[in-house]
């Protein structure tokens, strides 16, 4: 029987372990923390968004590069994940935004425990507090407690580089580079961006949300909400554009996004509401007729000149496209995910390192991107599933 060592115990690794054929492989999982799935639990703190309910084509389109993710997502889709969870007694529900969560009342730790129970029943060996430190001259795996493992097959699922406290710290980067594997620099993704707020604005509006808005950045669009923070802007709408904004910030000192405060109304409809208003003060018209709250009005004031704020036609146009200059991304450790990681050209279609046969890499440590909305976990689970299928066939 071949030996299979899985290093890392997050979403991708656990799905691989759950699906691997243990009549073919003697499997060990080495995790450096004292338990599995620390990041999975952190993800659950704001509501464990497991996947997104959409057609498979729409699902695949959310990933970048989508061609790379295409086949594993088709092999283990959002529907498959929901069925899989249901089979291990984790029923899911689809929220109004099409995001998929465990059924109300089921805590993230219960989801994790069910997955781990399922794996335990397969007789897989778990090694905790076992940090992988690199390879020795013979190519064996070396761990922090001087343990050396010679494995027929090795799968790395070490995660990205944000939220280091969860164990996913990106420290593996140098070890792979020493083996001539190209690792692209880590950058924050699904993160906040810095805005130079007016002091009066931020002292009043810090922590306030802007709901049901839309953003446009160089012909990329995102709907959702924003939250005003002292640093700048956060929230799912800006997270969805984070990859494109980060690419711009590599080349230029700032990036300008356009905020649509009334995505359900056309400029014509906004102008007509404005002109038909019985109010005389601009802020009253904005608040009572256009239903913009104090924070939205504050943003309009900060990002329009006095002349345009007092010119109804110009103001209505700005409501649909408030220009906001973003200066930088927040620090990596605070980001939900990371850009960068192992260059996709380093692996074949089964996630095997081309330069090191029988060594595979899955999950967030590869350089792919998806926005929040359950896509990150889905992507990691799908890779784990697809790799298990591949190994089971070989």
Ligand X SMILES: Cc1cc2nc3c(=O)[nH]c(=O)nc-3n(C[C@H](O)[C@H](O)[C@H](O)COP(=O)(O)OP(=O)(O)OC[C@H]3O[C@@H](n4cnc5c(N)ncnc54)[C@H](O)[C@@H]3O)c2cc1C
| The binder of ligand X chosen from 17, 27, 158, 222 (CB under 6 A) | 158
Stretch that binds ligand X, among 1-9, 198-206, 221-229, 259-267 (CB under 6 A): 1-9
| The binder of ligand X chosen from 102, 340, 363, 371 (CB under 6 A) | 363
309 binds ligand X (CB under 6 A): no
**Minimum CB distance to ligand X, residue 291 (Å):** 30
367 binds ligand X (CB under 6 A): no
Residue 164 near residue 13 (C-beta atoms within 8 A): no
Stretch that binds ligand X, among 88-96, 179-187, 203-211, 373-381 (CB under 6 A): 373-381
| The binder of ligand X chosen from 62, 78, 92, 168 (CB under 6 A) | 168
108 binds ligand X (CB under 6 A): no
| The binder of ligand X chosen from 72, 296, 376, 386 (CB under 6 A) | 376
| The binder of ligand X chosen from 19, 234, 346, 364 (CB under 6 A) | 364
**Minimum CB distance to ligand X, residue 377 (Å):** 3
10 binds ligand X (CB under 6 A): yes
224 binds ligand X (CB under 6 A): no
Residue 50 near residue 85 (C-beta atoms within 8 A): yes
267 binds ligand X (CB under 6 A): no
Residue 367 near residue 341 (C-beta atoms within 8 A): yes
| The binder of ligand X chosen from 16, 19, 25, 49 (CB under 6 A) | 49
53 binds ligand X (CB under 6 A): no
341 binds ligand X (CB under 6 A): no
**Minimum CB distance to ligand X, residue 172 (Å):** 6
- DSSP 8-state assignment for residue 352: B
| The binder of ligand X chosen from 4, 6, 11, 228 (CB under 6 A) | 11
Q: Which two tokens stand for residue 120?
A: 């335990």
Task: Tell me how many residues contact ligand X (CB under 6 A).
Answer: 37
**Concatenated DSSP letters of 254-318:** -EEEEEES-TTS-HHHHHHHHHT-S--SHHHIIIIIS---HHHHHHHHHTS-HHHHT-HHHHHHH
**CB burial of residue 123 (10 Å; 0-12, 13-18, 19+):** exposed
77 binds ligand X (CB under 6 A): no
7 binds ligand X (CB under 6 A): yes
| The binder of ligand X chosen from 132, 197, 239, 368 (CB under 6 A) | 132
- For the chain, the distance separating the N- and C-terminal CA atoms, rounded to the nearest angstrom, is 12
**CB burial of residue 166 (10 Å; 0-12, 13-18, 19+):** middle
159 binds ligand X (CB under 6 A): yes
Site for ligand X in 169-208 (CB under 6 A): 172
Residue 143 near residue 30 (C-beta atoms within 8 A): yes
* Closest-CA residue to 141 (of 158, 123, 122, 162): 158
**Minimum CB distance to ligand X, residue 254 (Å):** 26
Q: Which is nearer to ligand X, 11 or 183 (CB)?
A: 11
Q: Which two tokens stand for residue 126?
A: 């778990």
Residue 292 near residue 210 (C-beta atoms within 8 A): no
13 binds ligand X (CB under 6 A): yes
Backbone angles phi, psi at 366, to 5 degrees: -85, 155
User: In angstroms, rounded to a whole number, what is the distance separating the alpha carbons of residues 302 and 322?
Assistant: 10
**CB burial of residue 207 (10 Å; 0-12, 13-18, 19+):** exposed
Region for 167 from its dihedrals, namely left if φ exceeds 0, alpha if ψ lies in -120 to 50, beta otherwise: left
CA-CA-CA-CA torsion for 346, 351, 355, 357, nearest 10 degrees?
180
100 binds ligand X (CB under 6 A): no
32 binds ligand X (CB under 6 A): yes
**Minimum CB distance to ligand X, residue 340 (Å):** 13
377 binds ligand X (CB under 6 A): yes
227 binds ligand X (CB under 6 A): no
Residues that bind ligand X (CB under 6 A): 7-13, 30-33, 38-40, 42-43, 48-49, 131-132, 157-159, 162-163, 167-168, 172, 336-337, 363-364, 374-377, 380
């Amino acid at each position: 029987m071949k030996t299979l060592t899985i290093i890392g115990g997050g979403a991708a690794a656990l799905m691989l372990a759950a699906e691997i054929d243990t009549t073919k492989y003697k499997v060990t999982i080495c995790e450096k923390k004292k338990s599995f799935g620390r990041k999975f639990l952190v993800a659950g703190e704001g509501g464990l968004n497991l996947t997104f309910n959409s057609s498979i084509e729409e699902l695949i389109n959310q990933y970048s590069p989508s061609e790379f993710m295409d086949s594993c997502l088709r092999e283990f889709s959002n529907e498959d994940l929901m069925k899989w969870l249901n089979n291990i007694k984790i029923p899911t529900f689809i929220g109004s935004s099409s995001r998929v969560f465990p059924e109300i009342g089921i805590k993230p730790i219960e989801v994790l425990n069910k997955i781990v129970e399922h794996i335990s029943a397969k007789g897989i060996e778990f090694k905790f507090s076992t940090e992988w430190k690199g390879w020795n001259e013979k190519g064996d795996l070396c761990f922090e407690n001087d343990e050396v493992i010679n494995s027929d097959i090795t799968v790395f699922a070490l995660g990205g580089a944000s939220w280091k406290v969860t164990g996913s710290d990106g420290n593996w980067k140098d070890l792979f580079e020493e083996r001539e594997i190209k690792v692209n620099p880590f950058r924050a993704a699904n993160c906040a961006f810095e805005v130079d707020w007016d002091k009066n604005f931020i002292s009043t509006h810090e922590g306030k949300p802007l709901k049901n808005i839309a953003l446009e950045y160089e012909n990329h669009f995102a709907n959702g909400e924003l939250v005003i923070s002292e640093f700048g802007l956060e929230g799912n709408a800006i997270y969805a554009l984070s990859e494109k904004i980060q690419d711009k910030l590599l080349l230029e000192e700032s990036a300008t996004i356009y905020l649509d405060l009334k995505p359900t109304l056309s400029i014509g409809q906004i102008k007509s509401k404005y002109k038909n208003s019985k109010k005389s003060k601009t802020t009253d018209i904005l608040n009572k007729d256009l239903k913009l709250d104090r924070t939205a009005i504050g943003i309009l004031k900060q990002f329009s000149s006095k002349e345009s704020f007092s010119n109804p036609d110009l103001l209505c146009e700005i409501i649909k496209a408030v220009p906001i200059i973003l200066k930088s991304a927040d620090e990596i450790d605070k980001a939900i995910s990371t850009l960068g990681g192992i260059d996709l050209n380093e692996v074949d279609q089964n996630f095997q390192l081309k330069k090191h046969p029988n060594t595979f890499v899955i999950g967030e440590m590869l350089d792919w991107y998806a926005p929040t909305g359950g896509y990150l976990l889905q992507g990691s689970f799908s890779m784990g599933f697809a790799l298990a299928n591949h190994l089971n066939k070989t």
